Chains A and B, each alone.
Chain A
Amino acid sequence: MKFLKNVFVVAIGVLTLGAVPCSLMAQNVDASMLLHPPADSWPSYHGDYTGRRHSKLTQITPQNVNQLTLAWAFQTGRSGEIKSSPLLVDGVLYFTIPDNVWAVDARSGQQLWHYTYPPNKGDHIGQRGVAIYKDWLYFATPDAHLVSLNAKDGTVRWIVQVADVEKGYWSTEAPQIVGNHVIVGVGGDMDNLQTFIRAIDPETGKTQWQFNSTPPPGTPHTATGGTTWMSGTYDPDLNLIYWGTGNPTPVLTGSTRPGDNLYTCSIVALNPDTGKLVWAFQPSPHDTHDWDAVEIPVLVDGTFHGQKRKMLMQASRNGYFFVLDRTNGKNLLTVPFGPVNWAIGLDKKGQPIPNPKKEPSPDGVLIAPDEGGLTNFRSPSFDPKTGLFLVDAHPSWSIYFAKPADGTYGWAGADYGLWGKGVLEAIDYQTGKIRWSHELGPGGAGAGVLTTDSGLTFTGDAHGNFLALDTANGKTLWHAGAGAYIASSPITYKLDGEQYVLTSGGSVLFAWKLPSTSR
């Protein structure tokens, strides 16, 4: 039997090699390629380091997008939703759900290989995608391990533990490659845990440095938590990475953690080679509503009120839109982008001041937005031509409770959503004013946003419709029903002269392009 198995593995190895699309020049994904990704690639979570999820491709336009047609669909056959952003390198797409990685031909939608991680105890809430460096993929697992796979065939090179699942950690994030560092984070806010951002050697899996969001548990009068479950962004000129951190623990009660609770609910700027903190900005000081500040820190170079600036923009889960000077973390703008009722004003750093009366109470407080936030992890997009920051917003109301009997460990309270809806908001970054809104339906949408240089915005609505909108005014130009909840952010790429847009609905990946004859 053992002999037979080996024969099979060898045979499949040959088959797989034969199936890899031939390309004369392999796209060597290294530090310099990641700085200038070619149009026929999407080599990292955001497609590039800016986190703008904006493509220069212009073949699909507002004029022809109504002819968009299905190139192929890939059925994972699983019940879980695709929450990952696919990568594209050398004509092969890589995407995930928890415990699963697929490699799929970007031209045909045919599977090249499928890797499954062994059954494990971790929280299977989501998986946001892999990272690639040279010929190796990096995949975070529910039990907080990092797996390095051979991109050619999905075989395991090594697996390292990032954190101890027994203590309550898990992992969902797509690692980010910066230089020769694989940057990873962890989830785990059901327990009072210290969390961190860590750089791992892409070859050996060894830890290079670690930045702790919070002090170790048991440190008096301090918060734990500050999870790091989303990919950050990178400015190569300043040599800074920008990462969002999650809520403090205990989550809904602040009684044991007076003060701001640094560095929870923060945007931290770190040196990627040392992990040293250069500056930090805190969207939610002393959070008691579970509003992680892990939403994409989007990097934009442009003018702000007439002055040239290197900016960082975040539409944060707590309901505020922030514009910062990313050289030093100084605040340029703080404006809510929907109903928000928990702050009494802004401090001199431009950070909202939480209203103590809106902390969860024994008889309940009414809070906007709800715990899912005014937006969540799916990507927003920045469109440079219009200066619009497009975000899937979730105007919502909820009630929050906490009483001494709830204790001071883990969740430590209870909250209940009352009502919410989905709206795509087009925010003018100079003022924070909403230039247009596009209603996305009851409950909330949750799809990410992609814009292109031709003036198109791709997203999805609460009913599971994929939408293409005119970026200038938010009008619908094309739609198609996915038949399921859309839980990921779209990507786009050009292969063989044809532009593809990739979206997922439920557990199915859809590739769209124009009919070949229409061009």
Chain B
Amino acid sequence: MSVYAASSIQPALQAASSSDGAVSSKPGATAYESHCAICHGEQREGILPAFPPLVGIQHQMTDQQIIAFIHTGKGRMPAFPKLQGSELTALLHFLSTPALSASASNGNDNAADVHSSSMVEAGKSLFQQNCAFCHGRDAMGGETGPDLTRSKLVLSDVGGNKISEVVRDGRPEKKMPAFNFSSQEVSSLAAFIHSQEKKAASMKGGRRGVDVSDLQTGNAALGEKYFNGAGTCAKCHSATGDLAGIAKRYEGLQLEMRMLYPRGAKSHVDVTLPSGTKLAGTLVYQDEFVIGMKDENGTYHSWKTKNVKFHVDSPVDAHVELFSKYTDADIHNLMAYLQTLR
């Protein structure tokens, strides 16, 4: 049984006591000491339950939110409207200094190695807390989330330049939330994901995930027959038209998933206003109360659904109707056929 007090938070790295980055952090540390430490603790550990800890505040709030707190106060927290300019910037920088860089001080001669291995360690810890549930603890895929070590985006990412976008914006259409991490934290996440990518590539005897070679069990001739027959694919698609060269554009799992359900396919909507005016465009939003579309000029229009007549045409729904009709062999055959369309 381990018992510990709520305030026994690991001490955050004191900028003043670290050789690394001491110069840039010093004014921030001073600002913190004079304005904040009395309530939030010398090491940002907080005094619970009254005063919250500020360690990690940068991924709970945006800089803007933190500034709003500082300038207007909240509840028992006084306002500090005079905290402005370089002192404010320095304080924000100090608040974003992660406790994690404390591990960088563990003795090692090669400074660059210390940096990168501590980045990976820091990224690993962040990843375990925030990403592992969906992407797996080793980033090789898990509940809901894809294997990141073979993601095209990850493979083309350099130092977090692409990963950061996905982390910050999320992928709302896939229910991936946006995360409010600092640049340093995103870099550490990217470092961890890339280290896992290297690890995965060197794993013996194959690994988790779906290889192009896994998806070669079908019969292309039967797939073609299904395409033109029972599958009714030819009603909308053509091997020499929209699907010509499809296997050059997509391969493996990506091709199979697009074949089964092409995410992001557009729906067309025709709207008749009470005046009789007719509009048509691409569906942007629809719930039971509001319908929104973009017309051919790219202008957005929306109406209450009860005020207009409308008709939505979603050709992609044909893919949904097929789900209950496919056998697994149909899918493998169809996949084999599509792979011949080069």
Shortest Cβ distance from A153 into B: residue: B49
Tell me which residues across on chain B come within 8 A of A309, comparing CB atoms.
Answer: none
Known A124-B129, A190-B132, A399-B260; contact A119-B10, beta-carbon cutoff 8 A: yes
Of the candidates B3, B147, B257, the one whose C-beta lies within 8 Å of that of A418 is B257
Q: Is the CB of A364 within 8 A of B144?
A: no
B182 to chain A, nearest CB (A): 13
Tell me which residues across on chain B come within 8 A of A114, comparing CB atoms.
Answer: 49, 52
Q: Is the CB of A121 within 8 A of B129?
A: yes
B208 at the interface (CB under 8 A from A): yes
Q: Is the CB of B141 within 8 A of A79?
A: no
Q: Which of B88-96, B170-178, B228-236 contacts A (4 or more CB under 8 A)?
A: B170-178
Question: In the bound complex, how far is the Cα of B288 from the Cα of A465, in angstroms?
Answer: 10
Tell me which residues across on chain B come within 8 A of A4, comparing CB atoms.
Answer: 38
A83 to chain B, nearest CB (A): 12
Q: Is the CB of A366 within 8 A of B331?
A: yes
Q: Is the CB of A371 within 8 A of B3?
A: no
Give the number of residues in B that approach A within 8 Å (Cβ atoms): 78
Q: Is the CB of B129 within 8 A of A123?
A: yes
B180 at the interface (CB under 8 A from A): yes
Known A8-B39, A159-B3; contact A406-B207, beta-carbon cutoff 8 A: yes
Q: Is the CB of B55 within 8 A of A119?
A: yes
Question: In the bound complex, how far is the Cα of B182 from the Cα of A328, in angstroms?
Answer: 55
Of the candidates A115, A368, A413, the one whose C-beta lies within 8 Å of that of B49 is A115
- Counting residue pairs across A and B whose Cβ atoms lie within 8 Å, the total is 184
Contact residues of A between 457 and 501, Cβ < 8 Å to B? 461, 463, 465, 476, 479, 485
A154 at the interface (CB under 8 A from B): yes
Q: Is the CB of A371 within 8 A of B46?
A: no
Question: In the bound complex, how far is the Cα of B45 from the Cα of A5, in angstroms?
Answer: 12
A381 to chain B, nearest CB (A): 20
Question: In the bound complex, how far is the Cα of B171 from the Cα of A485, in angstroms?
Answer: 13
Shortest Cβ distance from B38 into A: residue: A4
Of the candidates B60, B129, B253, B323, the one whose C-beta lies within 8 Å of that of A366 is B323
B214 at the interface (CB under 8 A from A): yes
Tell me which residues across on chain B come within 8 A of A5, comparing CB atoms.
Answer: 47
Question: In the bound complex, how far is the Cα of B256 from the Cα of A418, in angstroms?
Answer: 10
B143-161 Cβ-contact flags toward A at 8 Å (1 or 0): 1101100000000000000
Q: Is the CB of A205 within 8 A of B42?
A: no
B303 at the interface (CB under 8 A from A): no
Known A405-B205, A405-B206, A411-B136; contact A365-B328, beta-carbon cutoff 8 A: yes
Tell me which residues across on chain B come within 8 A of A81, comparing CB atoms.
Answer: 177
Tell me which residues across on chain A come within 8 A of B39, comparing CB atoms.
Answer: 8
Q: Is the CB of A397 within 8 A of B323?
A: yes
Shortest Cβ distance from A161 into B: residue: B2
A1-24 Cβ-contact flags toward B at 8 Å (1 or 0): 100110011001001100000000
Contact residues of A between 100 and 125, Cβ < 8 Å to B? 111, 113-119, 121-125
Question: In the bound complex, how far is the Cα of B141 from the Cα of A115, in angstroms?
Answer: 33
Question: In the bound complex, how far is the Cα of B60 from the Cα of A158, in angstroms?
Answer: 26
A31 at the interface (CB under 8 A from B): no
Contact residues of A between 364 and 387, Cβ < 8 Å to B? 364-366, 368, 371-372
Contact residues of B between 75 and 107, Cβ < 8 Å to A? 75-76, 99
Of the candidates B76, B178, B205, B319, the one whose C-beta lies within 8 Å of that of A15 is B76
Question: In the bound complex, how far is the Cα of B49 from the Cα of A154, in angstroms?
Answer: 6
B268-286 Cβ-contact flags toward A at 8 Å (1 or 0): 0000000000000000010
A72 at the interface (CB under 8 A from B): no
Of the candidates B47, B52, B216, B257, the one whose C-beta lies within 8 Å of that of A416 is B257
Question: In the bound complex, how far is the Cα of B65 from the Cα of A419, in angstroms?
Answer: 36
Known A116-B52, A339-B323, A397-B323; contact A413-B208, beta-carbon cutoff 8 A: yes
Question: In the bound complex, how far is the Cα of B231 from the Cα of A41, in angstroms?
Answer: 56
Q: Is the CB of A364 within 8 A of B129?
A: no
Q: Is the CB of B47 within 8 A of A8?
A: yes
Question: In the bound complex, how far is the Cα of B130 from the Cα of A124, in angstroms?
Answer: 6
Shortest Cβ distance from B205 into A: residue: A405
Q: Is the CB of A142 within 8 A of B129?
A: yes
B299 at the interface (CB under 8 A from A): no
Q: Is the CB of A115 within 8 A of B6?
A: yes
A357 at the interface (CB under 8 A from B): yes
Question: In the bound complex, how far is the Cα of B211 from the Cα of A401, in angstroms?
Answer: 11
Tell me which residues across on chain B come within 8 A of A237, comparing CB atoms.
Answer: none
A341 at the interface (CB under 8 A from B): yes
Question: In the bound complex, how far is the Cα of B53 from the Cα of A155, in angstroms?
Answer: 15
A77 at the interface (CB under 8 A from B): yes
Known A8-B39, A153-B49; contact A160-B208, beta-carbon cutoff 8 A: no
Contact residues of A between 147 and 161, Cβ < 8 Å to B? 147, 153-156, 158-161
Q: Is the CB of A414 within 8 A of B147?
A: yes
Tell me which residues across on chain B come within 8 A of A79, comparing CB atoms.
Answer: 59-60, 177-180
Question: In the bound complex, how far is the Cα of B320 from the Cα of A471, in angstroms?
Answer: 29
Tell me which residues across on chain B come within 8 A of A190, comparing CB atoms.
Answer: 132, 136-137, 142
Question: In the bound complex, how far is the Cα of B75 from the Cα of A15, in angstroms?
Answer: 12
Q: Is the CB of B214 within 8 A of A9?
A: no
Contact residues of B between 236 and 283, Cβ < 8 Å to A? 253, 256-257, 260-261
Q: Is the CB of B4 within 8 A of A461?
A: no
A363 at the interface (CB under 8 A from B): yes
B51 at the interface (CB under 8 A from A): yes
B209-237 Cβ-contact flags toward A at 8 Å (1 or 0): 11000111110000000000000000000
B110 at the interface (CB under 8 A from A): no
Question: In the bound complex, how far is the Cα of B1 from the Cα of A15, in angstroms?
Answer: 33
Q: Is the CB of A8 within 8 A of B50?
A: yes
Tell me which residues across on chain B come within 8 A of A116, comparing CB atoms.
Answer: 6, 46, 48, 52-53
Q: Is the CB of B129 within 8 A of A122?
A: yes
Tell me which residues across on chain A come within 8 A of B136, comparing CB atoms.
Answer: 190, 410-411
Known A9-B50, A290-B143, A363-B332; contact A341-B324, beta-carbon cutoff 8 A: yes
B312 at the interface (CB under 8 A from A): no
Tell me which residues across on chain A come within 8 A of B52, comparing CB atoms.
Answer: 114, 116
Q: Is the CB of A364 within 8 A of B128?
A: no
B137 to chain A, nearest CB (A): 5
Q: Is the CB of A411 within 8 A of B208?
A: yes
Tell me which residues across on chain A come within 8 A of B1, comparing CB atoms.
Answer: 160-161, 205
B81 to chain A, nearest CB (A): 20
Q: Is the CB of A416 within 8 A of B146?
A: yes
Q: Is the CB of A366 within 8 A of B326?
A: yes
A-B contact pairs, 5 of them (CB 8 A): A77-B61, A119-B56, A364-B210, A366-B260, A411-B143
The 6 A-B residue pairs with the shortest CB-CB distance, nearest first, are A405-B206, A12-B50, A154-B49, A125-B133, A363-B217, A463-B287
